[in-house]
Structure 1
Amino acid sequence: MKPNNIITLTVFLTALKQLDEPLPENIQTQLNDISKGLITDPDSIGNLDTIAESYPPLDKIYQIEFARIEENSSECNRGGSPLPLPTEQTAELTNAVFNVFSNNNSVAAAKIAVKPNLLQRVWDFINGRIENE
């Protein structure tokens, strides 16, 4: 999985977990469609930025989380692109994304399927607090 997609997915899942209400039907349908593409191509994540922007409660959290990671990663990577995530976390993240996006209620699914320790490990790696194995 491409490093930028890992960041986008991590931020998106983090934002989904923080919502209190299910997504509108049109947004949920878009996530369901993305999940179908993930089966054959883990980098087929669609345009999650546009999806987030189309729903203000999600976009607000998404932008806050993205700003947080950009601030932290710029301090760690100064001009370099993110390193690839270790294979174990990449597979775990891909499975979590598929389970969340393919569900009829991605907000509820994110609260259940996305383990805090996975997101923390991904955040720590992105922010340079753990090394690539």
Structure 2
Amino acid sequence: MNRRSSWLHAAAGRRITQKLSWGGRVTVASRGVVGFDAAALRTLRTAAGISQHKLADRVRLHGAQVAGPHICLYECGKRTPQLRTLTALASALEVPPSALLEDDSSFRLCRLRLRMGIRRRFIW
């Protein structure tokens, strides 16, 4: 499957699982990487002691087109980064890309919760 056809499948709402050079697997949908952990991004950024705009500057050095407001949207969970942006975020924070992904058990729990119609506000 070439790059264009993989984009078309993702745009059609299909999910594509790709094996990555760092040894992990990631599922990419039309709206970004499935299983992105917004809380992990905020935790890693604050632990590094950098602002959202400074992180955006570092991410741009790694080849992704990101502005400061994008980082805020990623951290709030309102937007999901594409695969290229995810790897650039990990490089900018000097962590493996898997550090920005939810582990399988929490992702499965989230899917189960959504299928059952249980909203997060009812759990907390």
TM-score for the superposition, normalised by structure 1: 0.35
- Between Structure 1 and Structure 2, the one with more strand by share is 2
Compare CA radii of gyration and give the structure with the larger one: 2
TM-score for the superposition, normalised by structure 2: 0.37
Higher relative contact order (CA 8 A, sep 6+): 1
- Between Structure 1 and Structure 2, the one with more helix by share is 1
